[in-house]
Amino acid sequence: MNRFDAIVVGGGHNGLTSAAFLARAGLRVVVLERNPYIGGATVSRELHPGWVYSNCSYVCSLLRPEIYRSLELGRHGLQIVPYGGGVTFTRDGDVLGGYVDKEVRRREIARYSARDADAYLRYGRDVMRQCRLVRSLLMRTPPDPTSWRPRDLREMLHVGREFARLGEAGIYDTIRFYTMSIADYLGEYFESDVVKANFAGSGIIGTALGVQSPGTAYVLLHHYMGDVDGQAGAWGFARGGMGAVSRALAAAVQAHGGEVRSDAPVARIRTRAGRVVGVALENGDELDAPVVLSALDPKRTFLGLFDAGDLDPRLVKRARDFKIRGSSGKLNIALDGLPSFPALGPKHPLLAGDMHFLDSLERFERAYDDWKRGTWSQDPYLDLLMPTMTDPTMAPPGKHFMSVFVQYVPHRLAGREWTDADRDAFRRTVFAQISRYSPDFEKLVVHAEVRTPQELEAEVGLTEGNIFHGELTFDQLLFNRPFPGFAQYRGPFRGMYLCGSGTHPGGGVMAAPGANAAREVLRDLRRGSTVPEGWSDD
Where on the chain is the footprint of other proteins (CB under 8 A)? Answer: 94-95, 97, 99, 101, 103-104, 107-108, 110-112, 114-115, 117-119, 121-122, 125, 128-129, 132, 165-167, 169-170, 349, 538
* Nearest residue to 481 via CA among 318, 306, 304: 318
* Nearest residue to 438 via CA among 343, 370, 534, 529: 343
Nearer to other proteins among residue 346 and residue 528 (C-beta): 346
Gap between the Cα atoms of 54 and 237, Å rounded: 10
* Encoded amino acid at 420, one letter: D
Q: Give just the sign of the alpha carbon dihedral 108, 112, 113, 116.
A: negative
Nearer to other proteins among residue 107 and residue 447 (C-beta): 107
Gap between the Cα atoms of 41 and 461, Å rounded: 9
What are the CA-CA distances from residue 251 to residues 97, 261, 518 (Å)? 39, 13, 17
- The distance of closest approach from Cβ of residue 165 to other proteins in the complex, given in angstroms and rounded to an integer, is 8
- The distance of closest approach from Cβ of residue 324 to other proteins in the complex, given in angstroms and rounded to an integer, is 34
- The distance of closest approach from Cβ of residue 122 to other proteins in the complex, given in angstroms and rounded to an integer, is 6
Gap between the Cα atoms of 218 and 180, Å rounded: 8
Pairing of strands 231-232, 227-228: antiparallel
- The distance of closest approach from Cβ of residue 201 to other proteins in the complex, given in angstroms and rounded to an integer, is 20
* Nearest residue to 296 via CA among 284, 307, 305: 305
DSSP 393: T
Please name every residue paired with 229 in a beta bridge, in sequence order, or none if there are none: none
Three-state secondary structure along 403-466?
EEEEECCCCCECCECCCHHHHHHHHHHHHHHHHCCCCCCHHHEEEEEEECHHHHHHHHCCHHHC
Nearer to other proteins among residue 354 and residue 370 (C-beta): 354
- The distance of closest approach from Cβ of residue 286 to other proteins in the complex, given in angstroms and rounded to an integer, is 53
Nearer to other proteins among residue 103 and residue 420 (C-beta): 103
Nearer to other proteins among residue 118 and residue 424 (C-beta): 118
What are the CA-CA distances from residue 50 to residues 18, 45, 399, 400 (Å)? 33, 10, 9, 10
Nearer to other proteins among residue 187 and residue 257 (C-beta): 187
Asked if 441 and 404 touch (Cβ cutoff 8 Å), the reply is no
Nearer to other proteins among residue 47 and residue 121 (C-beta): 121
- The distance of closest approach from Cβ of residue 115 to other proteins in the complex, given in angstroms and rounded to an integer, is 5
Gap between the Cα atoms of 538 and 528, Å rounded: 27
Nearer to other proteins among residue 100 and residue 358 (C-beta): 100
Nearer to other proteins among residue 117 and residue 460 (C-beta): 117
Nearer to other proteins among residue 125 and residue 526 (C-beta): 125
DSSP 400: E
DSSP 326: -
- The distance of closest approach from Cβ of residue 352 to other proteins in the complex, given in angstroms and rounded to an integer, is 13
- The distance of closest approach from Cβ of residue 341 to other proteins in the complex, given in angstroms and rounded to an integer, is 13
- The distance of closest approach from Cβ of residue 534 to other proteins in the complex, given in angstroms and rounded to an integer, is 18
- The distance of closest approach from Cβ of residue 87 to other proteins in the complex, given in angstroms and rounded to an integer, is 10
- The distance of closest approach from Cβ of residue 166 to other proteins in the complex, given in angstroms and rounded to an integer, is 7
Neighbours of 2 (CB within 10 A): 13
Neighbours of 49 (CB within 10 A): 9
DSSP 235: -
Nearer to other proteins among residue 167 and residue 484 (C-beta): 167
Sheet holding 400-407, edge to edge: 95-98, 86-89, 354-356, 381-385, 400-407, 328-335, 445-451
